[in-house]
Structures are given as structure tokens and as C-alpha cells.
Amino acid sequence: MTGTPEPQNENLTLLGRRVLLGITGSIAAYKSAFLARELIKRGAEVRIVMTPSAIEFITPLTLSTLTGKPVHSDFTENKDSGEWTNHVELGLWGDLFLTAPCTAATLSAFANGTCSNLLQAVFLSARCPVMVAPAMDLDMFTNEATLVNLKTLGERGVSVIEPASGALASGLEGKGRMEEPEAIADFVEDFFKIGMPLAGKKVVVTAGPTEEPIDAVRYLGNRSTGKMGFELAARLANLGASVTLIAGPVKLDTPPRVSKRIDVMTAKEMYEVTMEVWPEMDAGIACAAVADMRPVNPASSKLHRGDLTDEIMLENTPDILLEMGVRKSASQVLMGFALETDSVEESLKSAEGKLERKNLDFIVMNTLADEGAGFSHDTNKVTVLQKVNIHTETRIFELKSKREVAHDLIDMLSTLLIS
Ligand code: CTP
């Protein structure tokens, strides 16, 4: 069992945040290089999308060197091979899509749904929050058309980083110059802080399979990859929770911002570390596919062919989730999983039994009867049963990516955690 606390750097206030930075054709585009550097300095991962006219102000080479990533400006990546830039992928990648500087022309395109360059296509496909930092001459900024576009975007949830006042490229003085990179980075930081409703909450997540030794080299295990549990930990951490991730043997990196990861092998080890931390937690999610049985008296060396018997004696492992339910205080919230293989009706009955028996607030059921659900996929299809007083409420979700499922589940958990 190994504890691997993540290095926590107080200055990395944007650690783990993905910022998709849009740059448009304004003289302020040169400041975007400083902005990209500032965001990266604070821990963010930055990818850049430019409009064709932005390239006249600052080169993609400067920006790709600063970010360490290719810069995108065209629908086609490579005209000879026909390789295209996936604007949908870019739009899904970011936790935030920030266009800085944003010209009057791009503001208008965003407000009107125009799609005549890659940046505008990314805007239309972005699912993450969108922010713009306008930059233009003062008369353009106060023009009724620009003000209407800003109002429209504001009403649709786009955040506007107001331009600052000062000397403008036209020689005039007034409001219109893009805010300084440090101030924009502060704005981005504040934005993420506000989006942290779980700050101060402690949550333990178990994830992955367990391996129960037969001898020094053989074990009983299962095909869990740990992806679902790691996505849950990532989402909780992104919402500000302090997450302890207890992982069986998996090949996954610790998500950014997860406070502590403890790696274990067996159900017994997972049980011991979970019980140790559980009393101080506000919530627990048992997502691990824990082996229910383990070989009795595993051999400490490798058994040779002649030593292997026809039968392996098994015994029960401790039920971690059951014990968490037994020790659960009135304020703690507990979510368990149930992987079923029977018909939907039978599976629901079994999951409801587990909800009661293990004293849970939620049970997340998935059945292998549903295509795309279970261990080996990047997708999952879940039904969540929630105990509400003496009733059970059921919510059936569509087939989604495990990341999206994690969002749905943490939304449900949060309703109890922050009520
Ligand atoms: N679980 C656990 N410890 C175990 C076995 C299971 O914490 N030793 C947790 C899992 O993490 C999951 C839940 O219990 O959240 C349900 O696991 P599952 O194997 O579906 O249910 P069981 O209670 O073992 O019931 P059964 O095998 O009869 O379906």
C-alpha cells in the first residue's frame, strides 16, 4: 500500500484548468502571448485558436512555443492530406473558452451565430463557459451595435471582461483597450473560485479493481479500469472538494487537484485505509470493483505446476461499502455502485436492496445488458436510485461518456452535500 500525496503548490491557482484561448485580429493580440504565459505560470493548460487576421499581429510560432502545443487557425490542418481541425473536440476540451482580445467583428459573429472561421465554429460548439475580453477603439466600443452584441452575449451567459481606459492605438484616449494579461488571469482565477461549490468538503472515492493473491504471481481480479472512479475524483476536485482517492491497481494518472491518492492492491488493504479516513469525510463514493472473495492462505512464493490443486479455497472479503454505511453519521452522504447483469427489472430490484442494506443515500446501477456500459468502455449508462425519506427516487440517464456521467452523479451528490 503506498501513499502518494500530490505536490500542492499554493501559486498554481489554475492547476488542472484547461483554458482554450481565442485570439482575434487586434493590436492587443501581442498581449495574448503574455496572457498565455501568465495562465500557464498559474498552472493552467492552454491551447490556442486564432482567426486568420490575428496571425498578422502575432505568429503562431510564438504562441505554440509558449504553450508547447500546436496553434489552430484553419479548418484544415494539412491541405495536401485533407486533415481537418476538429472544432468540436476543441470546444469540448476546454474548461473555459476565453477570447482575448476579442474584436468588434468577432463579438458580432459570436452574437449572431456566424461561422466563417475556426474560432467562430469553436464558439458555436463550446460546451464550457465562455469569456470575452473586448479590444477596440472607443467609438467602436460605444457604438449601439457593439453594445447590443455585448448585451446579447451577456444574456446568453458569456462573461465580459470590460476593457480598460487609456491610450488607444488610434491615438485617442478612452475605454476600449484590452485589460492587462495579469488582470485577465485574475478574472479567470476568480471565475474558477466561484465555480467551486464543494470547497471545504472532504470526499473519499474508491476506484479500480482489487487483486487477491493466489500465490506470489497469480491473483483473482476483475476487468475494472478505474476510469469511472477517477472521473468522479476529477470532477469533485474541480468543484473544490478535498478528495482522497483510494485506488486499486490501475494504469491512470492522478487527476489534477486531487489532494491525496492511496494505492492499494487487495480488498483488505482498501478496507483498512477507507475505514481510517471515513470518519473525517463529508461524503464517500464506493466506485471500486472490490473482489467479493479471496483465496484462503495465499502462498508467499510461486506455486509450481505440481503444487497447484484442482480447487482454490475462497473466503469473503470485507464489504467496505457496507461498513461505511454502518459507521455513517447523520451528516455524511454515501454513494455506492451496483454492477448488475440481469434484466433491467431484476437489476433495479437488486440495486434497491443494496441501497437499503448498505444504508446508502444513492446507488448507481449499471447493467451489462446495456451496450456501452461497464468496465471496458469510455461510456456508461447509469440509473441512480436515491433514498428520499422512506421513498426511493429513480433517475435514468442516457448513454454518455464517463466524464459526463461523473458530472451528473456529482451534481446529485452535491444537492445533499451543500444543502
Ligand atoms: N463493495 C465494497 N466492498 C466489497 C464489495 C463491494 O465496498 N467487498 C462496494 C462496491 O464498491 C460497490 C458496491 O459495493 O459500490 C456494490 O458492489 P457489488 O459487487 O455490485 O455488490 P455486492 O454488495 O457485492 O452484491 P452482489 O455481489 O450480490 O451483487
List the Cα angle 401/45/201 in 5-degree steps. Answer: 65
Measure 176 CA to ligand 1 centroid, in angstroms: 59
Spatial separation of the C-alpha atoms in residues 24 and 103, rounded to whole Å? 6
**164 domain-assigned:** yes
Which residues line ligand 1 at a C-beta cut-off of 6 Å? 206, 267, 286, 288, 290, 292, 317, 319-321, 336-339, 354
Q: Grid coordinates standing for 284?
A: 464517500
The per-residue pLDDT for 10 is 60
- Provide the domain limits for residue 404: 202-292+318-417
Percent of the chain at pLDDT exceeding 90:
71
The per-residue pLDDT for 7 is 41
CATH code for position 75: 3.40.50.1950
Measure 322 CA to ligand 1 centroid, in angstroms: 8
Task: Assign 370 a pLDDT band (cuts: 50, 70, 90).
Answer: confident
Nearest partner of 3 among 278, 260, 269, judged by Cα: 260
The per-residue pLDDT for 3 is 44
Atom nearest to 354 CA in ligand 1 = 23
Q: Determine which one of 117, 222, 366, 380 is catalytic.
A: 222
pTM of the complete model: 0.73
Query: Closest Cα to atom 18, ligand 1: which residue?
Result: 338
Query: Closest Cα to atom 24, ligand 1: which residue?
Result: 292
Measure 367 CA to ligand 1 centroid, in angstroms: 14
Q: Grid coordinates standing for 360?
A: 446508502
Percent of the chain at pLDDT exceeding 70:
95
Residue 76 sits in the same domain as residue 185: yes
Query: Closest Cα to atom 16, ligand 1: which residue?
Result: 338
pLDDT tens-digit readout, 53-66 = 999 999 999 999 99
DSSP 222-279: ----SHHHHHHHHHHHHTT-EEEEEE-S---PPPTT--EEEE--SHHHHHHHHHHHGG
Atom nearest to 338 CA in ligand 1 = 20
Nearest partner of 140 among 99, 172, 181, 100, judged by Cα: 172
**311 domain-assigned:** no
Residue 268 sits in the same domain as residue 386: yes
Atom nearest to 292 CA in ligand 1 = 8
Domain stops at, among 140, 170, 194 = 194
List the Cα angle 287/289/293 in 5-degree steps. Answer: 140
Q: Please indicate whether residue 197 or residue 335 has the higher confidence score (pLDDT).
A: 335
The per-residue pLDDT for 196 is 82
Q: What is the mean pLDDT of residues 263-292?
A: 98
Query: Closest Cα to atom 6, ligand 1: which residue?
Result: 290
pLDDT tens-digit readout, 77-126 = 666 776 776 777 888 889 999 999 999 999 999 999 999 999 999 999 88
86 is annotated as an active-site residue: no
pLDDT at 379 over 70: yes
Residue 112 sits in the same domain as residue 254: no
**140 domain-assigned:** yes
Distance linking the first and last C-alpha atoms of the chain = 35
Residue 147 sits in the same domain as residue 248: no
CATH code for position 285: 3.40.50.10300
Residue 26 sits in the same domain as residue 52: yes
Residue 95 sits in the same domain as residue 232: no
Residue 118 sits in the same domain as residue 245: no
Q: Please indicate whether residue 407 or residue 194 has the higher confidence score (pLDDT).
A: 407
pLDDT at 157 over 80: yes
The per-residue pLDDT for 374 is 66
Residue 135 sits in the same domain as residue 252: no
Atom nearest to 316 CA in ligand 1 = 8
Query: Closest Cα to atom 14, ligand 1: which residue?
Result: 321
Q: Please indicate whether residue 53 or residue 380 has the higher confidence score (pLDDT).
A: 53
Q: Please indicate whether residue 3 or residue 198 has the higher confidence score (pLDDT).
A: 198
Task: Assign 75 a pLDDT band (cuts: 50, 70, 90).
Answer: confident
Identify whether the C-beta of residue 279 lies closer than 8 Å to the C-beta of residue 202: no
Measure 319 CA to ligand 1 centroid, in angstroms: 7
**307 domain-assigned:** no
Measure 92 CA to ligand 1 centroid, in angstroms: 33
Task: Assign 375 a pLDDT band (cuts: 50, 70, 90).
Answer: low
Pocket probe for ligand 1: among 205, 222, 320, the residue whose CB has the most ligand atoms within 8 Å is: 320
Domain stops at, among 168, 194, 220 = 194
Measure 281 CA to ligand 1 centroid, in angstroms: 20
**304 domain-assigned:** no
The per-residue pLDDT for 335 is 98
The per-residue pLDDT for 6 is 44
Total residue length of the chain: 419
**138 domain-assigned:** yes
Atom nearest to 206 CA in ligand 1 = 11
Domain stops at, among 165, 194, 223 = 194
The per-residue pLDDT for 4 is 38
Q: What does the mean pLDDT of the chain come to?
A: 91
Domain count, the chain: 2
